[in-house]
Amino acid sequence: MKRIYSNISLASRNSFGVEQQATTLVEFECAEDLRTYFEEHNPVKWYVLGAGNNTLFMQDYDGVLFTPVNRKRTILCSNDDYVELRAEAGHDWDELVEWSVNEGLWGIENLSAIPSSVGAAPVQNIGAYGAEAKDAITTVEYFDVESRSVVRLTNADCHFAYRESIFKQELKGKVIILAVEFKLSRHAKPNLGYGDVISEVESRGGATLRNIRDAICAIRSRKLPDPKVLGNAGSFFKNPIVERSVADELLAKYPDMPHYAVPGDDDHVKLAAGWLIDKSGLKGYRDGVVGVHDRQALVLVNHGGATGGDVMRLAGYVCGKVKENFGVEISPEVNVL
């Protein structure tokens, strides 16, 4: 069943909390809802707005926004080793993680407390604390707008990489994700190698699913602002991937600079945009109603009443300073509309 809104405020539908409107917003549950809408209206300009945690509106949206509202979860297969399950695109991401932890299922616990809908998770391959959604996703099902058909992609066909997938590349603007399928293990597979995760988990008594989830939630709430209190979209920038020679030169100058291997690619190194911004003296920087978060420099925040333009001006300033200081280009991971 779909619901159609006209001239609707987006203030409560984007985590930056910017006050813009959309000409039309369609809440849909299934492929049939989309098929009938496209057949009846054939919109030229459209965009998928999930929970709105990774989108910055620069102006009113004069097209159609599609929001998935189906929150169903179905177990497809369950045995002594693993469970395969399907979650519809409108399912809340963190509710899925909470459910998996309660069920004793391993694979997405490190992705606790990420504000997202399930449908958005494969698009940028959400990742945190050494885990990525791609490690648990088996299949993504989508509605193909041109053919009006339902297509299923296997994990390999999604071309997942760091903050990347086919949905940000070849399929961008062509498909609407309907559901995501996961395989979660019944066998303990703690992934504690990232930063202070291990000490947080140990202080709670060891590597149970519940302790890992609680530890990650605690780390995140210490560093990241709650969008309900302070508008933000999590990491505003991607961590830049640079040539090894560039990283080596910077490391000679800043031996303590955080840097990470890029799996399967020895010629490149991933740097921490948060560190580059912080080292540029911008952590906690404020420009009127917008600023750089004072506990995690990757996050830009709306102190109240900001427009998309205010945020983008600050983003441009931050990129310029990082380029000036380190010669490295950083770019937004947030979708700017």
Residue from 173, 258, 284, 304 that binds ligand EPU (CB under 6 A)?
258
CB of 176 to ligand EPU, least distance (A): 22
Among 150, 272, 289, 312, binds ligand EPU (CB under 6 A): 272
**Which is closer to ligand EPU, CB of 31 or CB of 233?**
233
Smallest gap, in angstroms, from Cβ of residue 238 to ligand EPU? 5
Question: Of residues 70-109, which lie at the interface with ligand EPU (CB under 6 A)?
Answer: none
Among 51, 108, 333, 337, binds ligand EPU (CB under 6 A): 333
Residue 274 in the binding site for ligand EPU (CB under 6 A)? yes
Based on the shown chain and the rule CB under 6 A, indicate whether residue 271 belongs to the binding site for ligand EPU.
no
Catalytic residue positions? 163, 235, 333
Residue 125 interacts with ligand EPU (CB under 6 A): yes or no: no
Is there binding between residue 321 and ligand EPU (CB under 6 A)? no
Nearer to ligand EPU, 239 or 307 (CB): 239
Helix H, strand E, coil C: the string for the chain is CCEEEEEEECHHHCCCCCCCEEEEEEEECCHHHHHHHHHHHCCCCEEECCCCCCEECCCCEEEEEEEECCCCEEEEEECCCEEEEEEECCCEHHHHHHHHHHCCCECCHHHCCCCCEHHHCCCCCCEECCEEHHHCEEEEEEEECCCCEEEEEECHHHCCECCECHHHCCCCCCEEEEEEEEEEECCCCCCCCCCCHHHHHHHCCCCCHHHHHHHHHHHHHHHCCCCCCCEEEEECECCCEEEHHHHHHHHHHCCCCCEEEECCEEEEEEECHHHHHHHCCCCCCEECCEEECCCCCCEEEECCCCCHHHHHHHHHHHHHHHHHHHCCCCCECCEEC
Kindly identify the residues of this chain, within the stretch 178-237, that bind ligand EPU according to CB under 6 A. Answer: 194-195, 224, 234-235
Size of the site for ligand EPU (CB under 6 A): 19
Binding site for ligand EPU (CB under 6 A): 128-129, 194-195, 224, 234-235, 238-239, 258, 272, 274-275, 278, 283, 296-298, 333
